[in-house]
Structure 1
Amino acid sequence: MLTNDLPDLKLLRLFDLLYETRNVTRVAEQLGQSQPTVSIWLGQLREHLHDPLFIRTSGGMAPTPQADALIGPCREILESLRRFAAWEIAFDPATARRRFCICMTDASHITLLPRLLAHVRAQAPGVRLEAARIDGNTERALESGEADLAIGYVPWLSGGIYQQLLYEQDWVCLANRRHPRIRARLGPKQYRQEAHVAIAAGTGAQLLDQALARERVERHVALELPGFLGLGAIVQTTDLITTVPRHIGETLAQTHDVAVHPCPIRVDAFAVRQHWHARYHHEAGNRWLRGVVSRLFGGAPAGTVKPR
Structure 2
Amino acid sequence: MRFNKLDLNLLVALDALLTEEGISRAAEKIHLSQSAMSNALARLREYFDDELLVQVGRKMELTSRAEGLKDAVRDILVRVDATVAAQPQFVPSQSNRLFRLLVSDYTMMTLMPHVLELAYRQAPGVRFDLRPQVSNPQRVLERGEADLLIIPKDFCSTEHPSEMLFEESFCCVLWNQSNLVGDDMTAERYMAAGHVVVHPGDGIALADWFMQRLGMLRRVEASTFSFLSPAHLVVGTHRIATMHTRLARQAARSLPITTRVMPVTMPKMQQCVQWHKHRTSDQGIAWARSLLKEAVLAMDSASDAAA
User: Do the aligned partners of residues 160 and 189 (structure 1) sit closer, same or farther apart at CA in structure 2, a change above 3 Å counting?
Assistant: closer
The answer for the alignment partner of 1:214 in structure 2 is: 215
The answer for the alignment partner of 1:204 in structure 2 is: 206
The answer for the alignment partner of 1:187 in structure 2 is: 186
> What's the offset of the Cα at 1:273?
0.9
Is 1:143–1:279's contact at 8 Å kept on the other side of the alignment?
Answer: no
User: Do the aligned partners of residues 270 and 169 (structure 1) sit closer, same or farther apart at CA in structure 2, a change above 3 Å counting?
Assistant: same
Tell me the SS of whatever aligns to 1:94: helix
How far apart are the structure 2 equivalents of 1:204 and 1:178? 28
Residues 1:257 and 2:234 aligned together:
no
Matched letter for residue 90 of structure 1? Q
The answer for the alignment partner of 1:235 in structure 2 is: 234
> What's the offset of the Cα at 1:135?
2.8
The answer for the alignment partner of 1:110 in structure 2 is: 109
Is 1:167–1:298's contact at 8 Å kept on the other side of the alignment?
Answer: no
Matched letter for residue 130 of structure 2? A
How far apart are the structure 2 equivalents of 1:287 and 1:198? 35
> What's the offset of the Cα at 1:191?
1.1
> What's the offset of the Cα at 1:229?
4.3
How far apart are the structure 2 equivalents of 1:249 and 1:108? 13
Deviations 1:124-160 (A, max 9, x none): 2222211223334522332343211111214344344
Is 2:153–2:164's contact at 8 Å kept on the other side of the alignment?
Answer: no
How far apart are the structure 1 equivalents of 2:120 and 2:141? 23
The answer for the alignment partner of 1:77 in structure 2 is: none
How far apart are the structure 1 equivalents of 2:87 and 2:227? 41
The answer for the alignment partner of 2:222 in structure 1 is: 223
User: Do the aligned partners of residues 156 and 109 (structure 1) sit closer, same or farther apart at CA in structure 2, a change above 3 Å counting?
Assistant: closer
The answer for the alignment partner of 2:120 in structure 1 is: 121
Is 2:101–2:129's contact at 8 Å kept on the other side of the alignment?
Answer: yes
Deviations 1:151-209 (A, max 9, x none): 12143443441111111222211012222332263222221232211111254144333
Is 1:154–1:203's contact at 8 Å kept on the other side of the alignment?
Answer: no
> What's the offset of the Cα at 1:224?
0.9
> What's the offset of the Cα at 1:239?
2.5
The answer for the alignment partner of 2:97 in structure 1 is: 98
Matched letter for residue 185 of structure 2? L
How far apart are the structure 1 equivalents of 2:231 and 2:279? 38
User: Do the aligned partners of residues 203 and 151 (structure 1) sit closer, same or farther apart at CA in structure 2, a change above 3 Å counting?
Assistant: farther
The answer for the alignment partner of 2:293 in structure 1 is: 294
The answer for the alignment partner of 1:245 in structure 2 is: 244
Alignment of 1:77-92 (within 5 A): 89-92=88-91
How far apart are the structure 1 equivalents of 2:192 and 2:140? 43
RMSD: 2.5
Tell me the SS of whatever aligns to 1:161: coil
Identity %: 23
Is 1:152–1:203's contact at 8 Å kept on the other side of the alignment?
Answer: no
> What's the offset of the Cα at 1:289?
0.4
User: Do the aligned partners of residues 238 and 123 (structure 1) sit closer, same or farther apart at CA in structure 2, a change above 3 Å counting?
Assistant: farther
Is 2:199–2:205's contact at 8 Å kept on the other side of the alignment?
Answer: no
Matched letter for residue 278 of structure 1? K
The answer for the alignment partner of 2:282 in structure 1 is: 283
Is 2:102–2:149's contact at 8 Å kept on the other side of the alignment?
Answer: yes
Is 2:231–2:241's contact at 8 Å kept on the other side of the alignment?
Answer: no
Matched letter for residue 139 of structure 2? R
Tell me the SS of whatever aligns to 1:207: helix
Tell me the SS of whatever aligns to 2:129: strand
How far apart are the structure 1 equivalents of 2:161 and 2:251? 31
How far apart are the structure 2 equivalents of 1:298 and 1:274? 15
TM-score by length of 2: 0.61
How far apart are the structure 1 equivalents of 2:136 and 2:218? 32
